[in-house]
Amino acid sequence: MTSMTRRELLKGAALLPAAAAVATTAPITFVPRTMPSSGGRPPDYTAPAQGFLNTDEKAFVEAAVARIIPADDLGPGAKEAGVADFIDRQLAGPYGLAETWYMQGPWQPGTEQQGYQLRLAPAQLYRAAIAQIDRHLKQSQGNRGFAQLDPKAQDDFLHALEKADVKISGDLGKEFFEMLVVNTIEGFLADPIYGGNKDFIGWKLVGFPGPRYNYVAQIGEFGKKFDMPFVSIAGRDAGIRES
């Protein structure tokens, strides 16, 4: 993970498909390899959802997303925004199962342009990689898994994963790191209906007020402060933009 500020990291998220922020109410035949991945009407984000991660895996993800988008002087980070809950729900659904992906062989090393090449669906990759990472760390860090490391040690380990300096069985580390970073950004900026971006933390940071019906009244009002409440796909307003 190259050195960058949280704002710089989130600027790059503008390149992600709009599916991370906007859901569809119509059936879909193709879904990009990003979250949210399910077709049809999304569930009410206030309703309980059965996740995929077990207790240790959830602790790992919560610790990791907190280092990828940490809380700082700009505001709360991924942990406070509930990104781990977002990832947990997505792994339990079509995205986690890779239902819309081509997952047949041959499984050969691919180029960056060819995208994901592993035979493991995202949920399987999370489960295998987390188990192997914690096993590796407990052997070298005094029986401490990733979640038990101090923040600097966590950062150092994530840097090592990114550079493929840490070798775990199957060479899953770098692929897992890249997926985790993308999923973290998606959860931080997705509509709250999917379980992340709680209290519009991500949208408040980047200045996105939500998917309103239209902004016709604001056309031409350049430079004027936008004080309308933040709103999600579910139509719930919560919180007013602070200066």
Query: pLDDT tens across 176-227, in order?
Result: 999 999 999 999 999 999 999 999 999 999 988 888 888 888 888 888 888 8
Residue 183: which of 30, 68, 46, 42 has the closest Cα? 68
For residue 177, being part of any structural domain is answered with yes
Counted domains in the chain: 1
For residue 234, being part of any structural domain is answered with no
For residue 216, being part of any structural domain is answered with no
For residue 222, being part of any structural domain is answered with no
More confident residue, 24 or 92: 92
pLDDT attached to residue 238: 44
Query: pLDDT tens across 44-66, in order?
Result: 444 446 789 999 999 999 999 99
Q: How confident is the model at residue 10 (pLDDT cuts 50, 70, 90)?
A: low
What Rg, from alpha-carbon coordinates, does the chain have? 19
pLDDT attached to residue 9: 61
Read off the amino acid at residue 136. Answer: H
Instruction: Give CA–CA dist 180/154, Å, rounded.
Output: 14
Q: Are 84 and 1 spatial neighbours (Cβ–Cβ below 8 Å)? A: no
Range of the domain at 13: 6-104+118-208
Residue 32: which of 83, 100, 90, 97 has the closest Cα? 100
Cα separations in angstroms, 107 against 28, 99, 120, 155: 27, 17, 10, 31
Residue 72: phi, psi to the nearest 5?
-155, -160
For residue 204, being part of any structural domain is answered with yes
Q: Are 70 and 11 spatial neighbours (Cβ–Cβ below 8 Å)? A: no
For residue 221, being part of any structural domain is answered with no
Mean pLDDT of 108-131: 89
% the chain with pLDDT above 70: 77
For residue 233, being part of any structural domain is answered with no
For residue 10, being part of any structural domain is answered with yes
Tally of CB atoms within 10 A around 76: 18
Cβ neighbours of residue 143 under 8 Å, at least 6 residues apart? Answer: none
Cβ neighbours of residue 166 under 8 Å, at least 6 residues apart? Answer: 133, 136, 157, 160, 173
pLDDT attached to residue 114: 83
